[in-house]
Structure 1
Amino acid sequence: MPTPVTLWIDDERPMPPGFNAVARTSAEALNLVHEAHDRGYPLQVVSFDHDLGGDDTTRPVMLWMAEHDIWPDEVRVHTANPVGRDWLEGIAARYAPTSTRIVVAPVTGR
């Protein structure tokens, strides 16, 4: 069985223990999610920062998951941005299946 993917999306904070993939941009995150899906690797956890530097955010990743109905077992929202946190949590709560656990746990340090 393929190793489940645990993806940390954040442009500044280091990947914490328990994760096996990191993306610093939304493009990197989308590539990792596409690759995992195409190769049959289950998405176990995707943890979202919101702001990724400049104009980049994780919104395209969340929208792609919603549009393609591809969800991890757990969506974590670790951004310290309250507006971004509400948006990410709202999309996940509305479109993810009830089997997807949604965890909101802001991380304020780097």
Structure 2
Amino acid sequence: MKIWSDDIRPAPNGYICCKSVNDAKRVIEHANEPISLIDCDHDLGDFAYDGGDGIKLLDWLAETGRFYPVRIHTMNPVGRENMLRLLERYWK
């Protein structure tokens, strides 16, 4: 199962589309098959202000001890920098 978490861009074929962090959490918590990839967006949030959707999802995964392959899609250089910092903190 592949999860696409983005409320603007449509999910590619073969992905389950989640329009919010809460949608993604529900899908992950109730998954009946292994999760092979979580592809999440950061474009919609500012790290200093609200953490951004991708940051919130990765934080939740780390807090709950759930570790899956994660890919970040973003066009925001600041968002990408913040995501890399978060990944370094949790996934060394």
Question: TM-score band (shorter)?
Answer: 0.7 to 0.9
Does structure 2 conserve the Cα–Cα contact (< 8 Å) formed by 1:77 and 1:89? no
Q: Say yes or no: does 1:50 pair with 2:30.
A: no
Query: What percentage of residue pairs aligned between the two structures are identical?
Result: 34
Residue 52 of structure 1, CA deviation: 4.1
Q: Please give the TM-score of this superposition, normalised by the length of structure 2.
A: 0.77
In structure 2, the CA distance between the partners of 1:17 and 1:51, relative to structure 1 (3 Å rule), is same
Report the number of matched residues.
Answer: 87
Matches within 5 A, 1:11-90: 11-19=7-15, 21-36=16-31, 39=32, 41-52=33-44, 57-72=53-68, 74-90=69-85
Question: Shift of the alpha carbon at 1:10?
Answer: 0.9
When the two chains are superposed, the root-mean-square deviation of aligned CA atoms in Å is 2.1
Gaps in structure 2 of 5+ consecutive residues? none
Deviations 1:71-108 (A, max 9, x none): 11x21111111122222232223313x6xxxxxxxxxx
Shift of 1:31: 1.2
CA contact 1:7–1:23 (8 Å) conserved in 2: yes
Structure 1 gap ranges (5+): 99-110
Q: Which runs of 4+ in 1 moved over 4 A?
A: none
TM-score using structure 1 length: 0.66
- Distance in structure 2 (CA, Å) of the matches to 1:93 and 1:43: 22
